[in-house]
Amino acid sequence: MVERVGFVGLGTMGLRMAKNIAHAGFDLTVYDRLEEPLAEMKELGARVAGSICELAEQSDVIEIAVSPTNEVENVILGPEGILASARAGTVIDSHSTILPVDIQRIAAEAKRRGVHLLDAQMSGGYRGVEKRTLCFMVGGDAAILERCRPILNASGSEVYHLGGIGAGAATKIAQNTILAGTLVATAEGFALAKGSGIDLEVFQDVIHASAAQSHVADDWMQTWGIRVQPDAYKWILESALSMGEELDLPLPASALTKELIPKILGPRPSS
Per residue, what are the HEC states of 152-193? Answer: HCCCEEEEEEEECCCHHHHHHHHHHHHHHHHHHHHHHHHHHH
Helix extents (H) in 78-166: 100-112, 125-131, 142-152
DSSP 3-state assignment of 203?
A: helix
Distance CA 263, CA 259 (A): 8
Give long-range contacts, CB 8 A cutoff, 24+ apart: 162-167. 162/137, 162/138, 163/139, 164/139, 164/140, 165/103, 165/104, 165/107, 165/117, 165/119, 165/139, 165/140, 166/100, 166/101, 166/103, 166/104, 166/119, 166/139, 167/100, 167/119, 167/137, 167/138, 167/139
List the catalytic residue out of 19, 111, 131, 172. 172
Q: What is the distance in angstroms between the CA of the first residue and the CA of the last residue of the chain? A: 52
pLDDT at 223: 82
pLDDT at 1: 58
Q: How many CB atoms lie within 10 A of CB 3?
A: 16
Is domain 170-264 in CATH 3.90.1150.10, yes or no? no
pLDDT at 2: 67
pLDDT at 264: 81
4-164 and 170-264: same fold? no
CA distances from 259 to 77, 99, 191, 269 (A): 35, 21, 18, 22
Roughly what angle, to the nearest 10 degrees, separates helices 167-195 and 100-112? 150
**pLDDT averaged over 10-residue windows placed end to end, the chain, 271 residues:** 89 97 97 97 97 97 91 96 97 95 97 97 93 98 97 98 97 94 93 96 97 94 78 87 95 94 66 40
| Beta strands per DSSP E along the chain | 4-8, 27-31, 47-48, 61-64, 91-94, 116-123, 134-139, 156-163
Which architecture does CATH list for 4-164? 3-Layer(aba) Sandwich (3.40)
Amino acid identity for residue 56 in this structure: A
pLDDT at 266: 61
pLDDT at 270: 42
Q: Where are the domains of the chain?
A: 4-164, 170-264
Distance CA 142, CA 266 (A): 39
Q: What are phi and psi of 27, to 5 degrees?
A: -70, 110
pLDDT at 239: 93
- Please say whether the beta carbons of 146 and 160 come within 8 A: no
pLDDT at 230: 74
The CA angle 158-13-4, to the nearest 5 degrees, is: 75
For the question of residue 172 being annotated catalytic, the response is yes
